[in-house]
Amino acid sequence: MAFARVCSLDDLWEGDMGVFEVNGTEVLVAHLEEGIVRATQAYCPHQRVALVEGDLDRNTLICSQHLWEFDLVTCRGINPDHAELANYPTEIRGDEVFVDPEGDSPKTARP
């Protein structure tokens, strides 16, 4: 695996998310409840809207364009349930967040 440092936990407080470039791939990193950190694709699988423009409600990411909802703990769709997001391997080393964008691939979906 090709883990790369993305940010520190001080850069991404619990309840926050941000987009980072990792080895040429834009990755959305979200700091969820209970210290869980997830990395996923930066764009909605529906119409490539930037997910960082959406809302993070606890562990649920809501796309700003068509209100698609994703459980970021599993990266599976809630509404619609057939959708999914890439789930990039993530490691926390001390206070540093590392992501391997080659550990999965961006997903696409239709309504």
* pLDDT tens readout for residues 1-19: 699 999 999 999 999 999 9
Q: Is 22 exposed, middle or buried (0-12, 13-18, 19+ CB in 10 A)?
A: buried
Q: Lay out the sheet containing 76-79: strands in order across.
A: 55-57, 60-62, 69-71, 76-79
pLDDT, residue 109, reads 87
Let me know if residue 110 belongs to a domain.
Answer: no
The DSSP symbol for 52 reads: G
Residue numbers of the domain that contains 64: 4-100
How many domains, the chain? Answer: 1
Please state the pTM of the whole predicted model: 0.94
> Does residue 111 carry a pLDDT above 80?
no
Render pLDDT for 85-100 as a digit per residue (tens, 0 to 9).
999 999 999 999 999 9
We report the CATH number of the domain holding residue 85 as 2.102.10.10
